[in-house]
Every structure is written in C-alpha cells, then in structure tokens.
Amino acid sequence: MERELPASLLMFISSRSAANRIFEALQKQGFGDLTIAQSRLMMGIDPEGTRLSVLAERAQIAKQTATALVDKLERAGYVERVADPTDGRARLVRMTSRAKKAIPHARAEEDRIEREWRAHLGTERMQLLREALTDLRKITDPYQ
C-alpha cells in the first residue's frame, strides 16, 4: 500500500527536473559558469536594472547571499553594478550583453519543457495545471 505523495513533493520533483534541464541547456550554449542559484537571481533583474535588496526579496534570500551571487555574476561578466541616481546608498544591478544573450536560451528550454509537459498531459489538463498553480501562488508566494 503506497502512501500518496504530497502535492508539494510532486512539485519539487518536476521543478527540479526543469531547473536541471535549463541549467544543462545553458551549459551547452557556452554559459557553463552560471549556476542555478545565479540564474534564478538574474531572472529577477528588470530591464533598467534592479536594486540588490529587491533581488534578494524576489528570490527570497538574504541580502548577503544576494551580494555573494551578484559578486560572482559580476566577475563572470553577466551583470554590472551602477549607481542609483535616485538614492546615493543604492546601486542598480544590470544585465550585461552577455546575460542578455543567455536569456533566450533559458527561455527556449523553458518553452521546450512546457511543450513536452503539454504533450504528455494534453492541452486541457496542462491548462488546468497552470491555472491551479497560478492560483496556489497567491497563498504560497509571500512576495506576490
């Protein structure tokens, strides 16, 4: 008698699978120095640049962790820190052209995964899954 796995664990399994695939896709495209945590942080950067503390909040990590990740991203040439014209204490983290080149590859793999999942589940169930997950986010994502 098999115990039913919690929905959260099932989500963990599939989301990890997806994260690994995106990570591997980036590696193959010449972005092998990016890690999953770094990529996740980078995804939170707005086109005009984003403050470190905002990035930390979006990724739900401490400021110190974000500092360390941005340090590595900067050294690898993915982001740059520029002064925030509206606040002398703050700096904006901005993507460089290298990061902008990586994004489409990540998005492409995301789309590929999404299509495979849709093909496996069928269009309608995939749609229901998306809606349920989006709805669930309202009570599981403290930062909207």
Partner DNA sequence: TTCCCATAGTCCTATCAACGAACTATAATA
Partner DNA sequence: TATTATAGTTCGTTGATAGGACTATGGGAA
User: Residue from 16, 28, 63, 75 that binds its own copies (CB under 8 A)?
Assistant: 16
Question: According to CB under 7 A, which residues from 25 to 84 bind DNA?
Answer: 35-38, 51-54, 61-65, 67-72, 81, 84
Q: Based on the shown chain and the rule CB under 7 A, indicate whether residue 18 belongs to the binding site for DNA.
A: no
**Token pair 């998005």 is at which residue?**
107
Cα–Cα distance measured from residue 125 to residue 113, given in angstroms and rounded to the nearest whole number: 15
**SS3 category, 3:** coil
CB 46 within 8 A of CB 92: no
Q: Based on the shown chain and the rule CB under 7 A, indicate whether residue 109 belongs to the binding site for DNA.
A: no
Q: Among DNA, its own copies, none, what binds residue 87 when CB lies within 5 to 8 Å by partner kind?
A: DNA
Give 87 or 116: the residue with its C-beta nearer to DNA: 87
**Four-point Cα dihedral 71, 76, 77, 82, nearest 10:** 0
Taking the complex as a whole, how short is the minimal distance between the CB of residue 63 and DNA, in angstroms? 4
Q: Which span (7-15, 24-32, 80-88, 93-101) binds its own copies, by CB under 8 A?
A: 7-15
Q: Based on the shown chain and the rule CB under 7 A, indicate whether residue 96 belongs to the binding site for DNA.
A: no
Residue from 93, 88, 113, 99 nearest 21 by CA: 113
CB 48 within 8 A of CB 55: no
Binding site for DNA (CB under 7 A): 35-38, 51-54, 61-65, 67-72, 81, 84, 87-92
